[in-house]
Structure 1
């Protein structure tokens, strides 16, 4: 199984531990961040979605101009724009980027966040709509002639798109569909539509459980062997293991300070109140309750501090994807490949110090993962290396 690395593209530099600075839409930062990841060997970079954030399509278009190889994975929320419009937007970007567009479908797991963009459907209804949305968008990409579509949430008559994706899949023009969501409703839709199912950084047992559930869902459509799986994780690197853990503690302290300042009178519960609605955050919070370090080096400190709450990024830079692998590049690479052995082929890695960590990943982590993967896949080569031959 091959391996893919996805980075992260934001409109300004910020994270759990870094206070946003510079203009809200910072073209110089976007360009530098994109070029750094392209130079460092990343295959793609994710542009996130939030109801208060700048438009991801335009961030992606700017990054496409600043790079020549880096893929552009745009988080996209069904229900905000019509699927036929989205189909044309993605197909157009695919041409301007010379086949580098991809979509990350995020149906949404927080009612308040959905309602800010005018969406008042319940959780399971949103996934029912996503099923229709993806069926219609794929038909718009692939149909060589006008077609009708009749669903509960969408109806079109005589739709035909002049522009279709530059990339192709088994059924014709196609843009890779990455899919996020951990609930049973999400897994059901992912099994039908996803090319890549995305998961947050859980212990190995939790990831194996999710992979099995999604494969079982995909088997209903004869797609069990068609899906790939992605793990989103936040590596914290150090020249030594002690240095890496010391850095993790500094990140935790900086995040706590930032949260306290944002919360003001009333404390941290104003930022992360109660039980999160989305299942992915619930899972991370439950794992965080089991211990600060799980498996060999999966650190849950930030998830425990924030309750793994997603959707607060507009004010704090914090989302649900907050678990980290802590150690030297060699140690973190080994931990990533443990996930690879159970079926993960894509790693979405971003740091708590975004630009600096992107440099470190490209210089130290990505090459080390590829080196260790080669040795695992060619054990004879590993034995010769150990013997000094």
Structure 2
């Protein structure tokens, strides 16, 4: 299995729903988290996207030179980016990082936020657009010249001159729980991500996506997004979970759930249904706690317990087919160490891939008129360009 960590571009601290114990998320801080994850042996980090975050691509790019082997799971946003712009961004990042990019396709689930970004498509239309986007993006990344005319997107003779290092393109990750999203996963992605639902619900999703992919002659890997609160004893872990939401009151819960209820994301609705805004029934499966979802959108569950119990739950998800675990914890710097030190010795971790050397990037020269690769030609036999003889004076 692979274990990822998280770069908290939307803020960090010791407590949810409070400025008490909050931290400024500046470059020095995210660099510390990335370097900790790299040195501790995490395979990669999720770099989040959205209105509440610093820009994911700029933040991730700033961390390339600060890390050595760490991979970066960074979002492309159909509707916010054109397929060609996203392809250039992804290919450049992959080349400059030595093949350390993973692509997270994010369709978006908050109509209010999407409207602020100029996107006024409904849920089904956004997934139609995502389907078209991925069709064009994947072809571009594989070196094809693409002309496309769809319901939402159009391109004429689009092409990518500088290909990515990873072939055919950096692995594509994607999450979504609606039927439309599951079909996108089956058609286009390499790894389907689910939020941390109870194992029996995760098993159902895996089976559906696997069946849809097999019907298309494809195979899809699976990952899960979870928070983690692991300590040396069960008592310490559950006490830490209680402390994390000590400043979350009923008014805060009601306001958070009101905002989250406007989402048309099926996955967000499933997260909300796990706790229904009731802090008295937050343990929804063995060692699975829904307290974070009281005030946080997206991933709202955490594995809580000592190292033995949390690693056992992780292995249960692994038995279902989950290979990638994207974890996080508050505050993210200290919890990166705690989770690695307590869990990694108990888990069957895959070896980390080493980045490709800079020499793997092909030298092509400057494009001719910015539109054509220069031809590969042999050196002139004479070693230079022949010039017409110039008459000398007096001859």
Common fold, TM-score beyond 0.5? yes
How big is the alpha-carbon RMSD for the aligned residues of Structure 1 and Structure 2?
2.2
**Equivalences for residues 270-349 of structure 1 within 5 A:** 270-273=255-258, 275=261, 276-289=263-276, 291-303=281-293, 305-306=294-295, 318-349=296-327
- 1:12 and 1:220 mapped to 2: Cα distance? 39
Residue 353 of structure 2 is matched in structure 1 by none
Considering only CA atoms, is the larger Rg found in Structure 1 or Structure 2? 2
Residue ranges of structure 1 left out of the alignment (5+ in a row): 307-317, 374-389
Contact 1:11/1:29 (CA < 8 Å) preserved in 2? no
Whether contact under 8 Å (2:123, 2:264) holds in the other structure is: no
Separation (CA, whole Å) in 2 of partners of 1:332 and 1:96: 36
Q: CA deviation at 1:194?
A: 1.0
Shift of 1:75: 2.2
Contact 1:13 1:29 in 2 (8 A): no
Residue 231 of structure 1 corresponds to 224
Q: Does 1:243 align with 2:236?
A: yes
Q: Is the 8 A contact 2:228 2:327 kept in 1?
A: yes
After TM superposition, the score normalised by the length of structure 2 is 0.82
The superposition leaves residues 323-356 of structure 1 with CA deviations (integer Å, 9 ceiling, x where unpaired) of 1111111110011000100111110110022111
Evaluate the alpha carbon distance shift between residue 356 and residue 348 of structure 1 in structure 2; reply closer, same or farther with a 3 A threshold.
same
Question: What secondary structure sits across from 2:133 in the alignment?
Answer: helix
Structure 1 residues 114 and 365: alpha-carbon distance in aligned structure 2, compared to 1, 3 A threshold: same
5+ residue gaps in structure 2?
351-395
Q: 1 CA distance for matches of 2:211 and 2:23? A: 46
- Pick closer, same or farther for the CA change 1:199–1:96 going to 2, 3 Å: same
Question: Is it true that 1:148 corresponds to 2:147 in the alignment?
Answer: yes
Q: Which runs of 4+ in 1 moved over 6 A?
A: none
Q: Deviations over 1:225-274 (max 9, x none)?
A: x21111111111121111111111111213x05x85xx5xxxx4333207
Distance 1:300 1:271, change over 3 A: closer
Structure 1 residue 211: deviation in Å?
0.4
Whether contact under 8 Å (2:282, 2:289) holds in the other structure is: yes
In the TM superposition, 1:1-40 aligns within 5 A as 3-11=1-9, 13-14=11-12, 17=16, 19=19, 21=22, 23=24, 26-40=26-40
Aligned counterpart in structure 2 of residue 368 of structure 1, from 346, 366, 391: 346
Q: TM-score, normalising length from structure 1?
A: 0.83
Write out aligned runs for 1:5-154 (5 A): 5-11=3-9, 13-14=11-12, 17=16, 19=19, 21=22, 23=24, 26-144=26-144, 146-154=145-153
Report deviation, 1:37. Answer: 0.5
- Distance in 2 (CA, whole Å) between partners of 1:252 and 1:12 is 18
Counterpart check, 1:198 vs 2:193 = yes
